């Protein structure tokens, strides 16, 4: 039924949403609890009466596989220690039919549970207290009367529509507050708090001769729609590959299917058609509802269809190669914020590869939020910035992303000698953990590949979301400058993301909607694969519109009082309309011709290239810091594909110095260190700075000066230099290419505009 981030709740897997006092869940406040007894996982009998001297007793219903119960296991252990010595006893109860004693033992060890953890066989204790979900708390006073009922705190939970939220810390520690109040002899200020969690897997008596059974109906539905992720070794928190594994989750399955939270699918069904549409049919939903209503009968076991077979541990066919991010695991701290971690590994590929399928897998799904894998072409020293070049995106893992197997005529290209850069986002979960994530590849036949599949995006880097704004709009565009094929779309925002729309605007003005996600959920990063790829004529625009909720009503909002701009961390925001594409006219099985050169490609598109408002804004902000310069350069590389390097050089204290630089991965160039200084005499680059004319060198072989000669002796074949003044210094903004003749008039005019905007923005910033 989908992928699930177990600890960071990104997927809300089979977890209920809504107020605690729903139908069949009457409030137990004021109810006196009679003595109960049960065995713990070691076989020892424990009774409520054993703690007659305790001033209060916390009864916590838990489940070993429920994502929320896993999150709150360590929290309960912390609370037990916090209130030790104050006459408080903690008792945990597991009433799930699907949880064994060994499951309880593992849960207790994993979460440092030292108080009793009892197995409620037959749900007798759960029935007496009226417990419905896990985790669910009943706080009993000295007379064993229920004084508080509900959640532990409000750090983790779900908003309307089942969208998960995770605060950096709780705003209200409901159980701790209630304990303090009861111990102080005060009324509980909030005796009932919204409780969310997995339904307890009670033992029920199935209806005899039910017309719907697991073996005849439900197993086939699960095999087709759920087992892809709900099997051992996959990201879902529990398997659904047999009746024994499934029956305890029957009510939970019925609930999330009825509420259309599982299988996860967020696209409006009225817009677009997608080959990976995960929605269940009305017939399947009706069968599941009837099966649950009838007590989840098994039927005749021999009628159960076999479980779909997968490559062991994989969702793709058996990989031809598996590459780990590091030789040794990375240690994720128990708490705090972990900056994006980047690991570069050499797969040792000595020949070009065409990737037909790939699957990124977290080594520890409890703490890995997402993984992006970039290519580091040969000839470049890997750095933390290497992964920011979007054209080098290879693949990713995130909840909701299902690996795609391309047909024989398509592939993702990897140049021999390339390294892989793993960019990993970790979310600490309260326990120090280790991770060693990895990726598997299935290679295609280079003789059959006709088209390269590339990942691009319509992105916006310049937005600023005002404080407390519940519906801030951000737009972005991408223009297809060659006849292209649109294969898939994948919207990306962070926790303030509210909705996202894609539409195509054709050269004749016709508009066509592609995707509408009315309730965006950061927890699910779905790639929507078009059932019929769209053939797009040159000049077609992909237009994206998104809205953000920066208000207090968004429970996932880290701080509604702050203005929010672009950034990598989840408390910042992104607006990317990612998509996969290929070139309509490309046939790699045919011999390459001169028309494939980047300058010719640029000239073929030049009449449609304009500096839009976003590019102008990015150019004006480019010299604020290294990151803004990098963003501007990345956008510029898309507009002018033959461009390989952008830098600023200045005359400072009668010396020539590099101020800022960004270049394509794999480029072999000189003047890369900002600490390097050069004498002015004999340097053409110094003459360009002191002059007042734009200089274009379409061929570098005869340019004087050690710097220019060093460039020419490496990869650089042509250059362009725009003299400007920045911060009182004479400078040039320099553009470089590995191709000769890279700066025809069309490119020169465009790049000069960008350089003037950079200098203008720097001047305004100084004032």
Per-residue pLDDT tens over the stretch 119-137: 999 999 999 999 999 999 9
Classify 403 as helix, strand or coil: coil
Orientation of helix 745-766 relative to helix 626-639, angle to 10°: 160
Question: Cα-Cα-Cα-Cα dihedral of 440, 445, 450, 454, to 10°?
Answer: 10
In angstroms, what CA-CA distances link 666 with 533, 644, 669, 749?
32, 10, 9, 27
For residue 596, what pLDDT band results from cuts at 50, 70 and 90? very low
Of the pLDDT bands very low, low, confident and very high (cuts 50, 70, 90), residue 400 is low
pLDDT over threshold 70, residue 379: no
Residue 228 resides in a domain: yes
Question: Cβ atoms within 10 A of the Cβ of 546, count?
Answer: 27
Least trusted range by pLDDT, from 141-155, 384-398, 718-732:
384-398
- CATH code for the domain of 531: 2.60.120.230
Residues 61, 187 within the same domain: yes
| Residue 70 covered by a domain | yes
| % the chain with pLDDT above 70 | 92
pLDDT of the residue at 494: 92
Phi, psi of 25 (to 5 degrees): -130, 60
- In this predicted structure, what is the pLDDT of residue 430? 67
- On the question of pLDDT at 1 being above 80, the answer is no
Whether 15 has a pLDDT exceeding 80, the answer reads no
> Which of 15, 58, 253 is closest to 156 using CA atoms?
15
Q: Rounded mean pLDDT of the chain?
A: 88
Residue written as token pair 């204290």: 653
Domain membership of residue 13 (yes or no) is no
| 598 lies in some domain | no
Q: Are residue 427 and residue 365 in the same domain, yes or no?
A: yes
- Residue 669: the pLDDT is 87
CA 31 to chain centre: 44
Q: Is 315 a member of any domain?
A: no
Question: What residues form DSSP beta bridges with 457?
Answer: 578
pLDDT at 18: 35
| Range among 10-14, 397-401, 592-596, 750-754 rated most confident | 750-754
Tens of pLDDT along 648-683? Answer: 999 998 899 999 999 886 678 888 888 888 889 889
SS3 category, 370: strand
- Please indicate, yes or no, whether residues 473 and 553 belong to a single structural domain of this protein: yes
Residue 586: pLDDT band with limits 50, 70, 90: confident
What is the C-alpha end-to-end distance of the chain, expressed in Å? 57
User: Would you state the pLDDT for residue 146?
Assistant: 97
Residues 215 and 300: beta-carbon distance below 8 Å: yes
- What lies within 8 Å, CB to CB, of 184 at 6+ separation is none
Per-residue 3-state assignment (H helix, E strand, C coil) for 442-507: EECCCCCCCEECEEEEEECCCCEECCCCCCEEEEEEEECCCCEEEEEEEEECCCCEEEEEEEEECC
The confidence band for 472, taking pLDDT boundaries of 50, 70 and 90, is very high
Q: At what angle do helices 67-82 and 174-183 cross, to 10 degrees?
A: 30
CB contact at 8 A, 580 and 455: yes
Q: Which residues contact 749 (CB under 8 A, 6 or more apart)?
A: none
Residue 562, classed as helix, strand or coil, is coil
Q: Is residue 356 part of a domain?
A: yes
Domain check: are 687 and 557 in the same one? Answer: no
pLDDT for 25 beyond 70: no
For 367, the token pair is 């703490």
- Most confident of the ranges 604-618, 664-678, 704-718, 722-736: 722-736
Residue 728 lies in a domain: yes
Environment class of 493 (CB within 10 Å of its CB; exposed 0-12, middle 13-18, buried 19+): buried
- pTM here is 0.75
Q: Which of these three, 430, 449, 468, is where a domain ends? A: 449
Query: Is 445 in the same domain as 465?
Result: no
Distance (Å, whole) CA 494 – CA 496? 6
User: pLDDT tens-digit profile of 95-114?
Assistant: 999 999 999 999 999 899 99
> 700 with 617, same domain?
yes
Which whole number is the average pLDDT over 71-87?
94
pLDDT at 184: 96
Does residue 368 sit in the same domain as residue 420? yes
Residue 98 lies in a domain: yes
Shared domain for 60 and 190, answered yes or no, is: yes
- pLDDT reported for residue 634: 84
Q: How far is CA 168 from CA 58, 471, 557, in A?
A: 25, 23, 10
State which residues form the domain around 294. 214-303
Tally of domains in the chain: 5
Provide φ and ψ at 65, rounded to 5°: -110, -10
Strands (E), 493-584: 497-505, 511-517, 528-536, 541-548, 564-565, 576-583
* CA–CA separation, 634 and 615 (whole Å): 11
More confident residue, 148 or 18: 148
Does residue 90 share a domain with residue 180? Answer: yes
CATH number for the domain spanning 620: value is 3.30.450.40
Mean pLDDT confidence for 219-248: 86
Higher pLDDT, 173 or 26: 173
**What is the b/e burial string over 197-233, where b = at least 16 CB atoms within 10 angstroms of the residue's CB?**
bbbbbbebebbeebebbbbbbbbebbbebbbbbbbee
pLDDT top residue among 501 and 610: 501
pLDDT-derived band at 180 (thresholds 50, 70, 90) equals very high
pLDDT in tens, 409-425: 999 888 888 899 998 98
What would the mean pLDDT of 311-317 be, rounded to a whole number? 79
**Are residues 430 and 460 both part of a single domain?**
no
Judged against a pLDDT cut of 60, whether residue 468 lies above it is answered with yes
Same domain, yes or no: 144 and 281: no
Q: Rounded mean pLDDT of 578-599? A: 73
Please give the pLDDT value at position 766. 64
Q: Which of 15-19, 630-634, 651-655 has the lowest mean pLDDT?
A: 15-19
Is 323 a residue whose pLDDT tops 90? yes
Euclidean distance between CA atoms 61 and 709, whole angstroms:
74
Among the listed ranges 379-383, 602-606, 725-729, which one has the minimum average pLDDT value? Answer: 379-383
Q: Which among 199, 231, 247 is the end of a domain?
A: 199
588 and 450 Cβ atoms separated by less than 8 Å: yes
Q: Which residues contact 511 (CB under 8 A, 6 or more apart)?
A: 503, 504, 505
Q: Using the predicted structure, report yes or no on whether residue 295 has a pLDDT greater than 60.
A: yes
Residue 612 pLDDT > 80: yes
* pLDDT at residue 23 greater than cutoff 80: no
Q: Residue 671: how many CA atoms within 13 Å on its side-chain side? A: 29
Looking at the chain, the whole-number percentage of residues with pLDDT higher than 90 is 59
Q: What is the pLDDT of residue 666?
A: 67
Cα 753 from Cα 611, distance rounded (Å): 9
Cα distance between residue 536 and residue 554, in whole Å: 38
User: Is residue 50 scored above 80 in pLDDT?
Assistant: yes
Confidence at residue 273, expressed as pLDDT on a 0 to 100 scale: 95
- Does residue 223 sit in the same domain as residue 170? no
> What does the alpha-carbon distance between residue 585 and residue 452 come to, in Å, rounded to a whole number?
11
Average pLDDT of 358-375? Answer: 86
Among the candidates 199, 234, 266, a domain finishes at 199
- The CATH code of the domain that includes 364 is 2.60.120.310
What three-state secondary structure class fits 753? helix
Per-residue pLDDT of 420-450, as tens digits, reads 999 898 887 767 889 999 999 999 998 899 8
* Residue of higher predicted confidence among 23 and 703: 703
């Amino acid at each position: 039924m989908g992928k699930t981030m177990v600890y960071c709740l990104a997927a809300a897997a089979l977890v209920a949403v809504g107020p605690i006092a729903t139908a069949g869940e009457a409030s137990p406040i004021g109810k006196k609890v009679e003595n109960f007894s049960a065995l713990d996982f070691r076989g020892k009998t424990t009774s409520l009466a054993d703690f007659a001297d305790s001033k209060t007793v916390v009864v916590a219903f838990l489940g070993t596989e429920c994502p929320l119960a896993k999150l709150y296991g360590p929290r309960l252990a912390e609370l037990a220690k916090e209130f030790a010595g104050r006459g408080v006893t903690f008792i945990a109860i597991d009433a799930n039919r699907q949880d064994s004693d060994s499951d309880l033992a593992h849960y207790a060890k994993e979460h440092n549970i030292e108080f009793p953890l009892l197995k409620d066989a037959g749900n007798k204790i759960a029935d007496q207290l009226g417990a419905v979900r896990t985790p669910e708390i009943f706080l009993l006073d000295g007379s064993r009367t229920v004084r508080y009922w509900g959640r532990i705190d409000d750090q983790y939970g779900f908003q309307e529509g089942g969208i998960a939220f995770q605060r950096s810390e709780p705003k209200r520690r409901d159980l701790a507050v209630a304990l303090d109040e009861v111990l102080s002899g005060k009324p509980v200020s909030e005796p009932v708090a919204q409780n969310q969690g997995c339904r307890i897997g009670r033992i029920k008596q199935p209806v005899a001769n039910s017309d719907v059974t697991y073996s005849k109906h439900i197993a086939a539905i699960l095999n087709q729609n759920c087992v892809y992720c709900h099997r051992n070794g996959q990201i879902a928190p529990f398997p659904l590959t047999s009746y024994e594994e499934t029956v305890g989750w029957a009510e939970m399955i019925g609930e999330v299917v009825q509420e259309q939270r599982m299988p996860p699918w967020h696209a409006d069904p009225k817009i677009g058609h997608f080959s990976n549409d995960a929605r269940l049919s009305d017939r399947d939903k009706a069968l599941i509802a009837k099966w649950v209503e009838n007590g989840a009968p098994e039927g005749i076991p021999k009628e159960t269809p076999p479980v779909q077979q997968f490559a062991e541990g994989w969702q793709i066919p058996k990989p031809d190669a598996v590459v780990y991010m590091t030789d040794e695991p990375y240690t994720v701290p128990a708490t705090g914020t972990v900056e994006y971690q980047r690991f570069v590994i050499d797969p040792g590929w000595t020949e070009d590869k065409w990737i037909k399928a790939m699957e990124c897998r977290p080594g520890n799904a409890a703490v890995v939020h997402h993984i992006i894998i970039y290519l580091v072409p040969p000839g470049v020293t890997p750095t933390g910035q290497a992964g920011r070049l979007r054209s080098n995106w290879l693949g990713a893992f995130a909840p909701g992303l299902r690996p795609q197997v391309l047909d024989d005529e398509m592939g993702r290209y990897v140049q021999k000698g390339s390294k892989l850069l793993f960019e990993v986002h970790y979310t600490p979960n309260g326990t120090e953990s280790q991770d060693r994530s990895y990726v598997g590849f299935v290679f295609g036949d280079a003789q059959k590949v006709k088209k390269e599949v590339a990942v691009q995006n319509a992105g916006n880097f310049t937005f600023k979301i005002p404080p407390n704004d519940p519906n801030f709009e951000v737009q972005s565009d991408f223009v297809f400058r060659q006849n292209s094929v649109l294969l898939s779309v994948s919207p990306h925002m962070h926790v303030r993301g509210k909705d996202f729309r894609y539409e195509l605007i054709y050269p004749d003005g016709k508009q066509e909607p592609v995707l509408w996600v009315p309730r965006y959920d950061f927890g699910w990063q779905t790639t929507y694969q078009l059932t019929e790829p769209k053939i797009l004529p040159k000049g077609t625009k992909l237009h994206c519109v998104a809205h953000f909720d920066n208000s207090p009503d968004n429970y996932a909002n880290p701080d509604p009082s702050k203005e929010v701009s672009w950034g990598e961390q989840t408390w910042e925001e992104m607006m990317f309309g990612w998509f996969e594409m290929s070139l309509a006219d490309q046939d790699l099985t045919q011999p390459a011709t001169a028309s494939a050169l980047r300058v010719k490609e640029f000239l073929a598109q030049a009449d449609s290239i304009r500096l839009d408002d976003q590019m102008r804004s990015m150019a004006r902000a480019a010299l604020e810091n290294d990151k803004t310069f990098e963003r501007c350069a990345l956008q510029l590389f898309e507009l002018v594909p033959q461009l390989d390097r952008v830098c600023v050089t200045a005359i400072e204290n009668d010396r020539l110095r590099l101020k800022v630089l960004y270049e394509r991965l794999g480029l072999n160039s000189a003047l890369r260190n900002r600490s390097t200084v050069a004498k002015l005499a004999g340097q053409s680059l110094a003459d360009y700075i002191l002059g007042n004319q734009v200089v274009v060198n379409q061929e570098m072989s005869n340019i004087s000066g050690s710097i220019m000669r060093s460039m020419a002796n490496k990869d650089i074949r042509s250059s362009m230099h725009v003299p400007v003044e920045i911060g009182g210094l004479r400078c040039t903004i320099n553009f470089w290419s590995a191709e000769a003749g890279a700066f025809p008039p069309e490119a020169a005019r465009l790049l000069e505009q960008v350089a003037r905007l950079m200098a203008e923005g720097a001047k305004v910033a100084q004032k």
